[in-house]
Structure 1
Amino acid sequence: MSEIMTVEPRTKLGKIHNRRLRDEGRLPAILYGHGETPVSLSVSTAQFAAALRHGAKVVDLQGAVKQKALVQSLAWDTFRKNVLHIDFLRVSADEKVSVEIPVDLKGDAPGLNNGGILEHQLHMVEIEVDPAHMPDRLHASVANLQLGGSIYAGDITDLPAGAKLITPADAVLVNCIQPAGEPEPEEAVLGAGEPEVIGKDEEEADSESKAE
């Protein structure tokens, strides 16, 4: 799913101008790809934040340029709270792109009723898909996940038609494991608790010497 995003040209470049731009409620961005000249742009911070909340991977740029684009990468601040810069990659409706998509688990795992817990291994998988059919999220069912079992990337149930799973199909998404229990008591040391005979060796040696 793509969202419409209005962009404006960005003529002043550099850290100082980018900081001023962010203070004005806009984010610096660049559009590149397809062998064309990169274009410096800016987009509303609020509009882009809304697109992120919706899980948008592909956007329809309008305004300074008209182009379908993939959100290729984001630069974040130190605390990963605010986006500082956006890289847009030109895409066309008929080409396939590689992108990471979050995976949600569906259902209740029977293994939980037997004392198991879910151990997540992967939260996202990489797929190759055309922009028109790019999903916001993918899903895998845990309805048959028993204690000691696993769900794999190949178990994803809603991969779009024509899409290809890049992540290995045998990559584990989640395990149902037994929680670590209390350590078992150590076995008693053989012979522990028997009274110690002091001087036994000396007495035996003395008796043997008298008998000779």
Structure 2
Amino acid sequence: MSADSKVSVKKRQKLGTAETRRLRLSGLVPGIVYGHQQEPQPVVVDETLIHPIVVSGHKVVDLDVEGVLEKAIIRDVQVDPFTRLIQHIDFMRVDPNERVTVDVAIELKGTAPGILSGGMLEHQLHSIKVDCLAYQIPDSIVVKVSDLQLGGVIHVNELEIPPGVHVQTQGELIVVHVVKVSTRELDLAAPGAAEPEVIGKKAGEAEADAAPAKKK
């Protein structure tokens, strides 16, 4: 886990749809800080500041709420599907020494040799649920596929998990495997593959259309 990032946020006084739209147009992200039996606090943060932290997969941040420092984890993020800009973010206050349950992304590393043998790499599970101390939350779980041959598979219970982190996702689930691709699938996927035949008129009908109309 990398060092915690510091995020400065400001309290949000005005609420509502119109105000939220105005903030976003100004390059700001509305959010909320909650947890630890304290009242939820609406906040706002600069999009250019929080975006690289979210993209990195970092979970734990040192939150500066107008001079008040709190340890928090990024709990939920809403992203615009077209612009990829962050639309809303939730921060949950935590004690660094308490256990939390979070989803951690799975990151594949390397090239599977099974692909060269006619296989296709299928990444089936993109995150797993873990519980650990707040300061131990991994940014991601790295899975090395450089030894994965044709037919090879890696399950959840075969992942390399950092000390102190407990996996809650079912161990028998497949994270990634290399499956054999049939010749037909390769042909259909290849550029210039045969297109469906367009069925037109019958031969007799075509000839009739081609024949000159008789003069009356």
Matched, 1:79 2:82: yes
Work out whether residues 27 and 84 of structure 1, in 8 Å CA contact, stay in contact via their aligned partners in 2: yes
- Residue of structure 2 equivalent to 1:207: none
The one of 146, 149, 152 equivalent to 2:149 is 146
Aligned partner of 2:151: which letter? G
User: Taking structure 1 as reference, are residues 131 and 170 closer, same or farther at Cα in structure 2, changes over 3 Å only?
Assistant: same
Shift, 1:92, TM fit: 1.1
Secondary structure at the counterpart of residue 66 of structure 1: strand
Work out whether residues 105 and 127 of structure 2, in 8 Å CA contact, stay in contact via their aligned partners in 1: yes
Moved more, 159-168 or 142-151: 142-151
Work out whether residues 109 and 146 of structure 1, in 8 Å CA contact, stay in contact via their aligned partners in 2: yes
CA-based RMSD of the aligned residues comes to 1.9
- Residue of structure 1 equivalent to 2:107: 104
Unaligned runs of 5+ in 2: 186-216
- Residue of structure 2 equivalent to 1:50: 52
Q: CA separation in 2, counterparts of 1:110 and 1:78?
A: 34
Work out whether residues 101 and 137 of structure 1, in 8 Å CA contact, stay in contact via their aligned partners in 2: yes
- Residue of structure 1 equivalent to 2:201: none
- Residue of structure 2 equivalent to 1:162: 164
In the TM superposition, 1:174-193 aligns within 5 A as 174-182=176-184
Q: CA separation in 2, counterparts of 1:109 and 1:31?
A: 42
- The size of the alignment, in residue pairs, is 182
Work out whether residues 110 and 146 of structure 1, in 8 Å CA contact, stay in contact via their aligned partners in 2: yes
Between the two proteins, what is the percent identity of the paired residues?
Answer: 35
In the TM superposition, 1:1-212 aligns within 5 A as 1=2, 2-64=4-66, 65-77=68-80, 79=82, 81-157=84-160, 159-182=161-184
Unaligned runs of 5+ in 1: 184-212
**TM-score with structure 1 length normalisation?**
0.78
Shift, 1:48, TM fit: 0.6
Rg comparison, structure with higher value? 1
Shift, 1:10, TM fit: 0.7
